[in-house]
Amino acid sequence: MEQVDAVVVGAGVVGLAISRALALKGFETVVLERENAIGTGISSRNSEVIHAGLYYAAGSLKARLCVQGRRQLYAFCESHGVPHRRCGKLVVATDESQLAGLDQLMAKAAANGVDDLQKLSAAQALAMEPQLACVGAILSPSTGIIDSHGLMLALQGDLQRAGGDVALSSPVLRIVRGAGQHVLQVGGDEPMELAARIVINAAGLWAPRLAAATEGLNADSVPQAHFSKGNYYALVGRAPFSRLVYPLPQDAWLGVHLTLDLGGQARFGPDVEWLPDDVAEPLDYVVDPARAAGFYADVRRYWPGLREGALQPAYSGIRPKIHSRFEPAPDFLIHGPAEHGVVGLVNLFGIESPGLTSCLAIGDEVVGRLL
Protein backbone atom coordinates (compact mmCIF):
# COMPACT_ATOMS: atom_id res chain seq x y z
CA MET A 1 0.00 0.00 0.00
CA GLU A 2 1.37 3.39 -1.03
CA GLN A 3 1.71 6.06 1.66
CA VAL A 4 1.84 9.85 1.40
CA ASP A 5 1.50 12.71 3.86
CA ALA A 6 -1.71 14.14 2.41
CA VAL A 7 -4.40 13.25 -0.11
CA VAL A 8 -6.82 15.79 -1.59
CA VAL A 9 -9.91 14.32 -3.25
CA GLY A 10 -11.01 16.48 -6.18
CA ALA A 11 -8.89 18.35 -8.75
CA GLY A 12 -11.13 21.35 -9.16
CA VAL A 13 -9.84 24.84 -8.47
CA VAL A 14 -10.43 24.49 -4.70
CA GLY A 15 -8.84 21.06 -4.44
CA LEU A 16 -5.82 22.21 -6.45
CA ALA A 17 -5.43 25.34 -4.30
CA ILE A 18 -5.58 23.27 -1.10
CA SER A 19 -3.10 20.71 -2.42
CA ARG A 20 -0.75 23.52 -3.46
CA ALA A 21 -0.96 25.03 0.02
CA LEU A 22 -0.17 21.66 1.63
CA ALA A 23 2.73 20.96 -0.73
CA LEU A 24 4.24 24.39 -0.11
CA LYS A 25 4.17 23.57 3.61
CA GLY A 26 6.30 20.50 2.92
CA PHE A 27 3.63 17.79 2.86
CA GLU A 28 3.98 15.08 0.22
CA THR A 29 0.59 15.58 -1.45
CA VAL A 30 -1.40 13.66 -4.04
CA VAL A 31 -4.67 14.80 -5.61
CA LEU A 32 -7.11 12.08 -6.62
CA GLU A 33 -9.52 13.07 -9.40
CA ARG A 34 -12.25 10.76 -10.66
CA GLU A 35 -12.45 12.34 -14.13
CA ASN A 36 -9.77 12.12 -16.81
CA ALA A 37 -8.84 15.81 -16.61
CA ILE A 38 -8.62 18.51 -13.96
CA GLY A 39 -11.48 20.92 -13.34
CA THR A 40 -14.14 19.44 -15.59
CA GLY A 41 -17.04 20.14 -13.21
CA ILE A 42 -17.93 23.20 -11.15
CA SER A 43 -14.58 24.90 -11.79
CA SER A 44 -15.05 25.08 -15.56
CA ARG A 45 -18.81 25.67 -15.60
CA ASN A 46 -19.26 29.07 -13.99
CA SER A 47 -19.11 32.77 -14.81
CA GLU A 48 -15.30 33.00 -14.36
CA VAL A 49 -15.77 36.13 -12.27
CA ILE A 50 -13.39 37.39 -9.60
CA HIS A 51 -15.85 38.65 -7.01
CA ALA A 52 -15.13 41.64 -4.79
CA GLY A 53 -17.08 40.39 -1.75
CA LEU A 54 -20.29 42.43 -1.87
CA TYR A 55 -22.98 39.90 -1.19
CA TYR A 56 -22.12 37.82 1.86
CA ALA A 57 -23.11 38.13 5.51
CA ALA A 58 -20.57 39.97 7.65
CA GLY A 59 -18.36 37.57 9.57
CA SER A 60 -19.20 34.61 7.33
CA LEU A 61 -16.59 32.39 5.71
CA LYS A 62 -17.86 33.50 2.31
CA ALA A 63 -17.29 37.15 3.17
CA ARG A 64 -13.87 36.70 4.77
CA LEU A 65 -12.48 34.21 2.29
CA CYS A 66 -13.81 36.08 -0.75
CA VAL A 67 -12.22 39.41 0.23
CA GLN A 68 -8.96 37.75 1.27
CA GLY A 69 -9.00 35.41 -1.71
CA ARG A 70 -9.68 38.15 -4.23
CA ARG A 71 -6.52 40.00 -3.17
CA GLN A 72 -4.50 36.80 -3.25
CA LEU A 73 -5.92 35.80 -6.61
CA TYR A 74 -5.02 39.04 -8.38
CA ALA A 75 -1.47 38.79 -7.00
CA PHE A 76 -1.25 35.14 -8.06
CA CYS A 77 -2.44 35.95 -11.58
CA GLU A 78 0.19 38.68 -11.91
CA SER A 79 3.02 36.49 -10.63
CA HIS A 80 2.04 33.40 -12.62
CA GLY A 81 0.90 34.99 -15.87
CA VAL A 82 -2.71 33.78 -15.55
CA PRO A 83 -4.93 35.67 -18.04
CA HIS A 84 -7.37 37.96 -16.23
CA ARG A 85 -8.80 41.48 -16.40
CA ARG A 86 -9.96 43.80 -13.65
CA CYS A 87 -12.85 45.08 -15.76
CA GLY A 88 -15.20 46.22 -12.99
CA LYS A 89 -18.89 45.59 -12.49
CA LEU A 90 -22.08 47.61 -12.29
CA VAL A 91 -24.86 46.44 -9.96
CA VAL A 92 -27.98 48.18 -11.21
CA ALA A 93 -31.35 49.20 -9.87
CA THR A 94 -33.94 49.17 -12.64
CA ASP A 95 -36.76 50.88 -10.75
CA GLU A 96 -37.06 53.32 -7.86
CA SER A 97 -38.07 50.62 -5.39
CA GLN A 98 -34.63 49.04 -5.71
CA LEU A 99 -32.58 52.11 -4.78
CA ALA A 100 -32.73 51.26 -1.09
CA GLY A 101 -31.33 47.84 -2.00
CA LEU A 102 -28.24 49.48 -3.46
CA ASP A 103 -27.62 51.27 -0.16
CA GLN A 104 -28.07 48.03 1.77
CA LEU A 105 -25.62 46.27 -0.54
CA MET A 106 -23.03 49.01 -0.07
CA ALA A 107 -23.39 48.75 3.71
CA LYS A 108 -22.98 44.96 3.57
CA ALA A 109 -19.89 45.29 1.38
CA ALA A 110 -18.35 47.88 3.71
CA ALA A 111 -18.86 45.52 6.65
CA ASN A 112 -16.92 42.90 4.68
CA GLY A 113 -13.98 45.23 4.08
CA VAL A 114 -14.82 46.18 0.50
CA ASP A 115 -13.85 49.85 0.51
CA ASP A 116 -13.78 50.87 -3.15
CA LEU A 117 -17.45 50.83 -4.18
CA GLN A 118 -18.92 53.93 -5.80
CA LYS A 119 -22.60 54.88 -5.78
CA LEU A 120 -23.66 56.16 -9.20
CA SER A 121 -26.62 58.11 -10.45
CA ALA A 122 -28.40 56.93 -13.57
CA ALA A 123 -26.58 59.58 -15.61
CA GLN A 124 -23.18 58.49 -14.27
CA ALA A 125 -23.90 54.84 -15.01
CA LEU A 126 -25.09 55.62 -18.53
CA ALA A 127 -21.99 57.70 -19.15
CA MET A 128 -19.99 54.50 -18.52
CA GLU A 129 -22.32 52.14 -20.37
CA PRO A 130 -24.63 54.06 -22.76
CA GLN A 131 -26.76 51.00 -23.62
CA LEU A 132 -27.69 50.46 -19.98
CA ALA A 133 -31.14 51.19 -18.52
CA CYS A 134 -31.19 51.90 -14.78
CA VAL A 135 -32.19 54.47 -12.15
CA GLY A 136 -28.99 54.05 -10.14
CA ALA A 137 -26.03 51.72 -9.79
CA ILE A 138 -22.99 50.67 -7.80
CA LEU A 139 -19.59 50.46 -9.44
CA SER A 140 -17.32 47.69 -8.13
CA PRO A 141 -13.90 48.40 -9.65
CA SER A 142 -12.30 45.32 -8.00
CA THR A 143 -14.52 42.82 -9.80
CA GLY A 144 -12.81 41.05 -12.67
CA ILE A 145 -12.74 38.03 -14.96
CA ILE A 146 -10.27 35.17 -15.19
CA ASP A 147 -9.28 32.21 -17.34
CA SER A 148 -10.30 29.49 -14.87
CA HIS A 149 -8.45 26.73 -16.71
CA GLY A 150 -5.29 28.82 -16.85
CA LEU A 151 -5.63 29.33 -13.09
CA MET A 152 -5.95 25.58 -12.46
CA LEU A 153 -2.93 24.81 -14.63
CA ALA A 154 -0.89 27.36 -12.66
CA LEU A 155 -2.02 25.85 -9.34
CA GLN A 156 -1.15 22.37 -10.61
CA GLY A 157 2.25 23.63 -11.73
CA ASP A 158 3.03 24.98 -8.25
CA LEU A 159 1.86 21.72 -6.70
CA GLN A 160 4.10 19.63 -8.92
CA ARG A 161 7.12 21.90 -8.46
CA ALA A 162 6.66 21.41 -4.71
CA GLY A 163 6.75 17.63 -5.15
CA GLY A 164 3.02 16.88 -5.34
CA ASP A 165 1.07 15.28 -8.13
CA VAL A 166 -2.40 14.64 -9.58
CA ALA A 167 -3.77 11.17 -10.31
CA LEU A 168 -6.60 11.26 -12.86
CA SER A 169 -9.32 8.63 -13.38
CA SER A 170 -8.94 7.73 -9.70
CA PRO A 171 -12.34 7.78 -7.98
CA VAL A 172 -12.28 7.37 -4.20
CA LEU A 173 -14.85 4.78 -3.18
CA ARG A 174 -14.37 4.68 0.58
CA ILE A 175 -12.17 6.02 3.35
CA VAL A 176 -11.39 3.76 6.30
CA ARG A 177 -9.39 4.32 9.49
CA GLY A 178 -5.97 2.78 9.94
CA ALA A 179 -3.37 3.12 12.68
CA GLY A 180 -2.84 6.88 12.85
CA GLN A 181 -3.82 7.31 9.22
CA HIS A 182 -6.63 7.09 6.72
CA VAL A 183 -6.78 4.46 3.99
CA LEU A 184 -8.46 5.46 0.75
CA GLN A 185 -9.91 2.75 -1.44
CA VAL A 186 -9.46 3.96 -5.00
CA GLY A 187 -11.30 2.54 -8.02
CA GLY A 188 -10.76 3.05 -11.71
CA ASP A 189 -8.82 0.90 -14.16
CA GLU A 190 -6.15 0.12 -11.56
CA PRO A 191 -7.83 -0.15 -8.13
CA MET A 192 -5.51 0.48 -5.21
CA GLU A 193 -5.31 1.58 -1.60
CA LEU A 194 -3.52 4.75 -0.57
CA ALA A 195 -2.72 5.67 3.03
CA ALA A 196 -2.34 9.24 4.29
CA ARG A 197 -2.23 11.04 7.61
CA ILE A 198 -4.21 13.95 6.14
CA VAL A 199 -7.25 13.66 3.86
CA ILE A 200 -9.11 16.61 2.35
CA ASN A 201 -12.54 15.97 0.85
CA ALA A 202 -12.84 18.64 -1.86
CA ALA A 203 -15.05 16.48 -4.07
CA GLY A 204 -17.49 19.27 -4.93
CA LEU A 205 -20.86 17.86 -5.96
CA TRP A 206 -19.95 14.51 -4.48
CA ALA A 207 -18.40 15.68 -1.18
CA PRO A 208 -21.42 14.62 0.94
CA ARG A 209 -21.43 11.20 -0.73
CA LEU A 210 -17.73 10.70 0.04
CA ALA A 211 -18.19 11.91 3.60
CA ALA A 212 -20.99 9.37 4.07
CA ALA A 213 -18.51 6.68 2.93
CA THR A 214 -15.89 7.75 5.47
CA GLU A 215 -15.43 5.42 8.42
CA GLY A 216 -15.69 7.01 11.85
CA LEU A 217 -17.49 10.14 10.67
CA ASN A 218 -20.77 10.83 12.44
CA ALA A 219 -23.67 10.97 10.00
CA ASP A 220 -24.90 14.13 11.74
CA SER A 221 -21.88 16.01 10.35
CA VAL A 222 -22.75 15.19 6.73
CA PRO A 223 -25.24 17.60 5.10
CA GLN A 224 -27.86 16.56 2.59
CA ALA A 225 -26.69 17.19 -0.97
CA HIS A 226 -28.88 19.25 -3.30
CA PHE A 227 -28.18 20.19 -6.89
CA SER A 228 -29.00 23.35 -8.82
CA LYS A 229 -28.32 23.73 -12.52
CA GLY A 230 -27.46 27.13 -13.91
CA ASN A 231 -27.82 27.71 -17.65
CA TYR A 232 -25.89 30.27 -19.69
CA TYR A 233 -26.63 31.83 -23.06
CA ALA A 234 -24.11 33.53 -25.34
CA LEU A 235 -24.77 36.77 -27.19
CA VAL A 236 -24.51 36.63 -30.97
CA GLY A 237 -22.13 39.40 -31.95
CA ARG A 238 -20.12 41.75 -29.77
CA ALA A 239 -21.65 43.23 -26.63
CA PRO A 240 -21.90 47.02 -26.28
CA PHE A 241 -20.57 46.78 -22.70
CA SER A 242 -17.05 46.92 -21.29
CA ARG A 243 -18.02 46.01 -17.71
CA LEU A 244 -20.03 43.23 -16.13
CA VAL A 245 -23.65 44.10 -15.34
CA TYR A 246 -25.56 42.52 -12.46
CA PRO A 247 -29.09 43.12 -11.21
CA LEU A 248 -29.67 43.37 -7.47
CA PRO A 249 -29.21 39.90 -5.93
CA GLN A 250 -32.01 37.68 -4.71
CA ASP A 251 -30.75 35.69 -1.70
CA ALA A 252 -27.88 33.49 -2.98
CA TRP A 253 -28.91 33.98 -6.62
CA LEU A 254 -27.18 36.94 -8.23
CA GLY A 255 -29.73 37.10 -11.02
CA VAL A 256 -29.27 36.74 -14.77
CA HIS A 257 -26.20 38.87 -15.20
CA LEU A 258 -24.01 39.89 -18.10
CA THR A 259 -20.45 38.66 -17.98
CA LEU A 260 -17.67 38.93 -20.49
CA ASP A 261 -14.91 36.50 -21.30
CA LEU A 262 -11.35 37.64 -21.97
CA GLY A 263 -12.08 37.78 -25.70
CA GLY A 264 -15.02 40.14 -25.20
CA GLN A 265 -17.77 37.56 -25.79
CA ALA A 266 -20.85 38.27 -23.66
CA ARG A 267 -22.69 35.60 -21.73
CA PHE A 268 -25.89 35.83 -19.74
CA GLY A 269 -26.76 33.65 -16.79
CA PRO A 270 -27.11 31.69 -14.79
CA ASP A 271 -30.72 30.95 -14.10
CA VAL A 272 -31.78 28.50 -11.37
CA GLU A 273 -33.02 25.02 -12.30
CA TRP A 274 -33.32 22.74 -9.28
CA LEU A 275 -32.55 19.09 -9.97
CA PRO A 276 -33.65 15.97 -8.05
CA ASP A 277 -31.56 15.16 -4.98
CA ASP A 278 -30.91 11.71 -6.47
CA VAL A 279 -29.72 13.16 -9.78
CA ALA A 280 -28.48 10.45 -12.12
CA GLU A 281 -25.08 10.24 -13.70
CA PRO A 282 -23.78 11.11 -16.18
CA LEU A 283 -24.95 14.62 -15.43
CA ASP A 284 -27.03 16.34 -18.08
CA TYR A 285 -25.38 19.65 -19.01
CA VAL A 286 -27.53 20.30 -22.10
CA VAL A 287 -29.01 23.81 -22.18
CA ASP A 288 -32.68 23.82 -23.19
CA PRO A 289 -33.20 26.50 -25.89
CA ALA A 290 -36.75 27.04 -24.58
CA ARG A 291 -35.40 28.58 -21.36
CA ALA A 292 -34.17 31.58 -23.36
CA ALA A 293 -37.59 33.27 -23.09
CA GLY A 294 -37.03 34.02 -19.44
CA PHE A 295 -33.55 35.33 -20.16
CA TYR A 296 -34.80 37.93 -22.63
CA ALA A 297 -37.25 39.30 -20.08
CA ASP A 298 -34.64 39.49 -17.31
CA VAL A 299 -31.89 41.02 -19.43
CA ARG A 300 -34.14 43.64 -21.02
CA ARG A 301 -34.76 45.16 -17.60
CA TYR A 302 -31.23 46.55 -17.76
CA TRP A 303 -30.52 46.26 -21.49
CA PRO A 304 -33.71 46.98 -23.43
CA GLY A 305 -31.75 46.92 -26.68
CA LEU A 306 -31.28 43.15 -26.59
CA ARG A 307 -32.70 42.02 -29.92
CA GLU A 308 -34.85 38.96 -30.38
CA GLY A 309 -32.91 35.88 -31.45
CA ALA A 310 -29.57 37.21 -30.18
CA LEU A 311 -29.14 34.58 -27.44
CA GLN A 312 -27.82 31.10 -28.15
CA PRO A 313 -27.43 28.21 -25.68
CA ALA A 314 -23.85 28.22 -24.37
CA TYR A 315 -23.20 25.88 -21.43
CA SER A 316 -24.45 25.01 -17.98
CA GLY A 317 -23.05 24.23 -14.55
CA ILE A 318 -24.37 22.35 -11.54
CA ARG A 319 -23.83 23.82 -8.10
CA PRO A 320 -23.20 21.79 -4.93
CA LYS A 321 -26.00 23.06 -2.73
CA ILE A 322 -26.40 22.07 0.92
CA HIS A 323 -29.81 23.70 1.19
CA SER A 324 -33.08 23.08 -0.60
CA ARG A 325 -34.93 25.55 -2.80
CA PHE A 326 -37.11 26.46 0.19
CA GLU A 327 -34.25 27.36 2.55
CA PRO A 328 -31.92 30.37 2.73
CA ALA A 329 -28.42 29.81 1.44
CA PRO A 330 -25.96 28.83 4.19
CA ASP A 331 -22.28 29.67 4.55
CA PHE A 332 -19.47 27.50 3.26
CA LEU A 333 -19.07 24.44 5.47
CA ILE A 334 -15.44 23.60 6.19
CA HIS A 335 -15.44 20.82 8.77
CA GLY A 336 -12.14 19.86 10.33
CA PRO A 337 -11.23 17.86 13.44
CA ALA A 338 -12.66 20.57 15.71
CA GLU A 339 -16.09 20.09 14.13
CA HIS A 340 -16.31 16.32 13.62
CA GLY A 341 -13.60 14.88 15.86
CA VAL A 342 -11.73 12.87 13.22
CA VAL A 343 -8.03 13.70 13.28
CA GLY A 344 -6.45 14.64 9.97
CA LEU A 345 -9.71 14.96 8.01
CA VAL A 346 -11.27 18.08 6.49
CA ASN A 347 -14.56 18.01 4.56
CA LEU A 348 -15.65 20.92 2.36
CA PHE A 349 -19.37 21.18 1.63
CA GLY A 350 -21.37 23.66 -0.45
CA ILE A 351 -18.32 25.33 -1.99
CA GLU A 352 -20.05 27.19 -4.79
CA SER A 353 -19.71 30.90 -5.60
CA PRO A 354 -17.47 32.62 -4.51
CA GLY A 355 -15.39 29.45 -4.36
CA LEU A 356 -13.23 30.27 -7.39
CA THR A 357 -12.41 33.74 -6.07
CA SER A 358 -11.76 32.32 -2.59
CA CYS A 359 -9.69 29.29 -3.64
CA LEU A 360 -6.30 30.46 -2.37
CA ALA A 361 -7.78 31.70 0.89
CA ILE A 362 -9.64 28.39 1.29
CA GLY A 363 -6.32 26.60 0.86
CA ASP A 364 -4.80 28.64 3.68
CA GLU A 365 -7.88 28.12 5.84
CA VAL A 366 -7.76 24.34 5.47
CA VAL A 367 -4.04 24.14 6.25
CA GLY A 368 -4.60 26.40 9.27
CA ARG A 369 -7.21 24.04 10.66
CA LEU A 370 -4.81 21.11 10.44
CA LEU A 371 -1.63 22.66 11.85
| Interatomic CA distance for residues 33 and 10, integer angstroms | 5
Q: Is the pLDDT of residue 295 over 80?
A: yes
Residue 179, φ and ψ in degrees, nearest 5: -80, 100
Reported as a single tens digit per residue, the pLDDT across 138-178 is 999 999 999 999 999 999 999 999 999 999 999 999 999 98
β-bridge mates for residue 322, sequence order = none
Reported as a single tens digit per residue, the pLDDT across 334-370 is 999 999 999 999 999 999 999 999 999 999 999 999 9
Q: Is the pLDDT of residue 1 over 90?
A: no
Reported as a single tens digit per residue, the pLDDT across 34-88 is 999 999 999 999 999 999 999 999 999 999 999 999 999 999 999 999 999 999 9
My answer on whether 237 and 316 are in the same domain is yes
List, in sequence order, the alpha helices (H) in the chain: 13-24, 61-80, 99-111, 122-128, 148-161, 207-212, 292-299, 337-340, 355-370
C-alpha to C-alpha distances, 318 to 7, 114, 254, 321, 359, nearest whole angstrom? 25, 28, 15, 9, 18
Buried/exposed code over 85-94 (b: 16+ C-beta within 10 A; e: otherwise): eebbbbbbbb
How many CA atoms are closer than 13 Å to the CA of 37, on its beta-carbon side? 9
| Interatomic CA distance for residues 48 and 172, integer angstroms | 28
Q: Does residue 78 form part of some domain?
A: no
- Mean pLDDT on 186-195: 94
My answer on whether 216 and 155 are in the same domain is yes
My answer on whether 182 and 315 are in the same domain is no
CATH of the domain at 202: 3.50.50.60
Q: 93 with 99: CB under 8 angstroms?
A: yes
Q: 236 with 308: CB under 8 angstroms?
A: no
Q: Indicate the DSSP class of residue 250.
A: B
Q: To the nearest whole percent, how much of the chain has pLDDT over 70?
A: 99
- Mean pLDDT on 212-220: 94
Q: To the nearest whole percent, how much of the chain has pLDDT over 90?
A: 94
Write down the pLDDT at residue 249.
81
Q: What's the angle, vertex CA 199, arms to CA 30 and CA 11, rounded to 5?
A: 45
3-class SS of residue 227: strand
β-bridge mates for residue 320, sequence order = 227
My answer on whether 176 and 120 are in the same domain is no
Write down the pLDDT at residue 252.
55
Ranges 114-128, 208-222, 241-255, 312-326: which has the least confidence: 241-255
Q: Does residue 30 form part of some domain?
A: yes
Longest dimension (CA), the chain: 67
Q: What is the count of structural domains for the chain?
A: 2
Nearest to 53 by CA among 160, 121, 143: 143
My answer on whether 10 and 109 are in the same domain is no
Write down the pLDDT at residue 250.
67
My answer on whether 351 and 231 are in the same domain is no
Full residue range of the structural domain in which residue 255 is found: 89-141+226-321
Q: Does residue 57 form part of some domain?
A: no
Pairing of strands 89-93, 244-247: parallel
Q: Is the pLDDT of residue 189 over 70?
A: yes
